[in-house]
Structure 1
Amino acid sequence: MLSARSCITAFRLLVLAGCATPGLWIGWQWFYGDLGAVPSEAVVHFTGRTGLILLLTTIAFGPAFRLTGWVGFMIARRQIGLWAFFWLLAHMLSWIGLDQYWDWPWIVKDMVDLPYVRYGVAGLTLLVPLAVTSFKRVRQAMGEHAWHWLHRLVYVSAALGVTHLWILTRADYLMPSLFLAVLLLLVAFRIVDAILHRQ
C-alpha cells in the first residue's frame, strides 16, 4: 500500500495535471483552428470558466477536509488556489489582448460602463492579496488569525465571479446556475460548520 506521504504526493500531481491540462487542450485547439468562428472569444470564455471552476474547487477543499479529515486536501489547497488565480488572470489578459487589442481607453471605458466587467475585475483584484499571502513565510509573518480573515475574501471573489458570468449570459443559464448552486452550498457549509464549532 502507498504511504500517507505518497498518497499526498500523488494527489498533488493529480491536481497539477488537472490544472495544467486545460492549457494544453486550448493550445491544441487554437493551433488546429478548432475554436469556432471567433477563436479569441472562445479563449476568453474557456479561461474564465476554468478559473472559476478551480476557484470553487479551492473553496471546496476546506469542506472536503472537514468531512474526511484527510490532510492532503489542505496541503493541495494553496496549489489549486494559485492555479485558479493563474487561469483567471489569463482570462483577463486574453480579454484585454485578444478581445480589446490592448486599446486601453476602450478597456477603461468598458470597465466603467459594463457591470459584468466591473464585477470580474473586482473579483480578480480581491484574489491578488490572497495569492501574494499564500506562501508559508508570509502566512507566519501575518499570524494565523489575520491570515484566515483575509483569505475569507475568496468567497467574495467567487461571488463576484459568478455574478460576472450570470450577467454575461444571454440565453442558457444552466452553467451559471450550477456555479451559483455550488457556491451557495459551500457558503452554507461554512456557516453551519462555524456554528457547530462554536458550541
Structure 2
Amino acid sequence: MLTPAGRILVFRLLVLAAGSLPALWLAWQWWWGDLGVVPEETVVHATGRMGLILLLATIAFSPAFRLTGWVGIMIARRQIGLWAFAWLVAHMLAWMGLEQYWDWRWIRHDMVDLPYVRYGVAALLLLVPLALTSFRRAQQAMGYRAWHWLHRLVYVAAALGVVHFWMLTRADYRLPTLAAAILAGLLLFRLVDAAIHRR
C-alpha cells in the first residue's frame, strides 16, 4: 500500500511520462521516416496538439482538486503546466525552423498577415509570464492575489489556442470541437465554483 507521499510521487512520474514520452515517440518516428509524406508538417501539428492537450489538462487540475481534495493534483499542476509551455515553444520553433526555414522575412509576414498565426503567437506570449512566475518564490514575491489573477490568463491563452487550432483545420473538426467543448466546460465549472464559493 502506497503512502500519501508515494502516491504523489507516482502521480508526478505519470505527469513526467505524459510530457516526455510523446517527444521520444516523435523523435523515433522521425528517425525511421514514419511521419508521412511531409514529416515537417507532422511535427508542427503534433507538437501543437500535444501542447494544447497539456494546457487543457493544466486547467483541468483545479476542478479535479476541488472535486477530490487530493493535494497531489495541485503539486503536479506546475509540472504539467511547464510541460505544456515546453511543447508549445517546440511547436513555434518547429514552425519557424521546419516550415519557414528560419526565414525571418516570411516569419514576420505570416505573423502580420495570417490571423491563425497571430492567435497562436498571442497564446504563447501570454504563457510566458505564467511560466516565469510558476515557482513558489514568484508567488510569494507577487502575493497570492496578484499571482492568482495573472495566472487566470491561462484561460485566455487556451481559448486563443483553440481558435488557432480551429482555423488551421480544413476538414475534420472533431478534435477542435472537442477541445472547445472541454475548455467551455472547464470555464463553466470555474465560474459556478466561484459563485458558490462567494455565497
The TM-score by the shorter chain falls in which range? Answer: over 0.9
| Distance (Å, rounded) in 1 between the aligned partners of 2:94 and 2:145 | 36
Residue type of the partner of 1:109?
H
Q: Determine what percentage of the aligned residue pairs are the same residue.
A: 71
Give the corresponding residue for 1:64: 64
Task: Give me the CA root mean square deviation.
Answer: 0.4
Give the corresponding residue for 1:154: 154
Give the corresponding residue for 2:4: 4
User: Structure 1 residue 18: deviation in Å?
Assistant: 1.2
Give the corresponding residue for 2:29: 29
Equivalent positions of 1:1-199 (< 5 A) are 1-199=1-199
Residue type of the partner of 2:69?
G
Q: Deviations over 1:15-61 (max 9, x none)?
A: 10111000010000000000000000000000000000000000000
Paired residue total = 199
| Distance (Å, rounded) in 2 between the aligned partners of 1:148 and 1:52 | 21
Residue type of the partner of 1:89?
V
Flag structure 2 segments of 5+ consecutive residues without an equivalent.
Answer: none
TM-score by length of 2: 0.99
Residue type of the partner of 2:110?
D
- Poorly superposed stretches of 4+, deviation over 4 Å: none
Flag structure 1 segments of 5+ consecutive residues without an equivalent.
Answer: none
Residue type of the partner of 1:171?
A
Residue type of the partner of 1:87?
W
TM-score by length of 1: 0.99
Q: Deviations over 1:1-21 (max 9, x none)?
A: 111111001100111011100
